[in-house]
Amino acid sequence: MNVDFAYLVGALGDATLTHRPKKGEYCIEFEQKSEDWLKDSIAPRAQRLFGKTIPVRKRKSGLYRLRIYSKKAYSELAKAWNDLSIIEESDERAKSNFVRGFFDAEGSAPRRNAGTCYRILFYQKDISRLLCISRLLDSLGIKPGRISNSRDIGLLAVRGKSNVTSFVRIVGSEHPIKRMALLQLISL
């Protein structure tokens, strides 16, 4: 599997897939605080995979939005997103790129206070997606924690310095804010 495609499928964790049949419109929309992540990670992949040059626009809310209008992109990405077995059957590079995309979209690396554990977190309403992330992490040699639920949002944690360090080495992050948070976390 193409690693750019795997990353975009993972990043769909925080995207909106919209199909308006009456208008013949197929849209994938990413909205983020980080303009750089959209410009440097999402847009170039859409360009390479689907030949689409996509502007990133700032909204009144202060968030940045990137929209991909393409039936091909919508169909291929939605198909993979709805059947993640294609990711689970891929090679390690595709798996790690999928997890990286998902972490960049729906993960965090909370600041560690003295005496607290090292951890990174994945959030998602659809628990089946967190189960997939858990299996992928395990296949990459990173021990995932149990999935918990808080206010109808699933939470998957990766705990412990060696697991977090392995995550940074094997998966990493392209999101500028999350990449810095990960590096600060493992440097403590």
CATH of the domain at 116: 3.10.28.10
The average pLDDT across 76-103 equals 96
144-162: b or e for each residue (b if 16 or more CB lie within 10 Å)? bbebeeeeeebbbbbeeee
Overall residue count recorded for the chain in this entry: 188
Least confident range of 61-65, 79-83, 115-119 = 115-119
Residue 97 and residue 65 share a domain: no
> Quick one: 77 and 98 in the same domain?
no
Confidence of residue 88 (pLDDT cuts 50, 70, 90): very high
Are residue 90 and residue 183 in the same domain, yes or no? yes
pLDDT at res. 115: 53
Same domain, 166 and 102: yes
Overall number of domains in the chain: 2
Based on the fold, state whether residues 170 and 107 are members of the same structural domain.
yes
- Which tokens belong to 7? 């990353």
Query: What integer is the mean pLDDT of 45-62?
Result: 92
Q: Do residues 91 and 158 both lie within one domain?
A: yes
Please indicate, yes or no, whether residues 169 and 96 belong to a single structural domain of this protein: yes
Domain that holds residue 46: 3-82
Long-range contacts of 142-151 (CB under 8 A, 24+ apart): 142/166, 142/167, 142/170, 142/171
What does the pLDDT read at residue 155?
92
Residues 52 and 108 in one domain: no
CA distance readout (Å), 182 to 31, 34, 56, 175, 185:
22, 16, 25, 10, 5
Lowest mean pLDDT among 21-25, 136-140, 164-168: 21-25
Whether residues 71 and 108 share a domain: the answer is no
Mean pLDDT of 93-110: 95
State whether 22 and 46 are in the same domain: yes
Whether residues 105 and 158 fall in one domain: yes
Last residue of a domain, one of 26, 51, 82: 82
Q: Quick one: pLDDT at residue 168?
A: 94
Which residues, in sequence order, are bridge partners of residue 155?
123, 148
Tens-place pLDDT, residues 111-147: 766 556 788 999 999 999 999 999 999 999 999 999 9
Asked whether the predicted pLDDT for residue 18 surpasses 80, the reply is yes
Predicted local distance difference test score (pLDDT) of residue 52: 82
Give the distance, in angstroms, between the CA of residue 135 and the centroid of all CA atoms in the same chain.
15
Q: Is the pTM of this model over 0.85?
A: yes
pLDDT grade, residue 4 (50/70/90)? very high
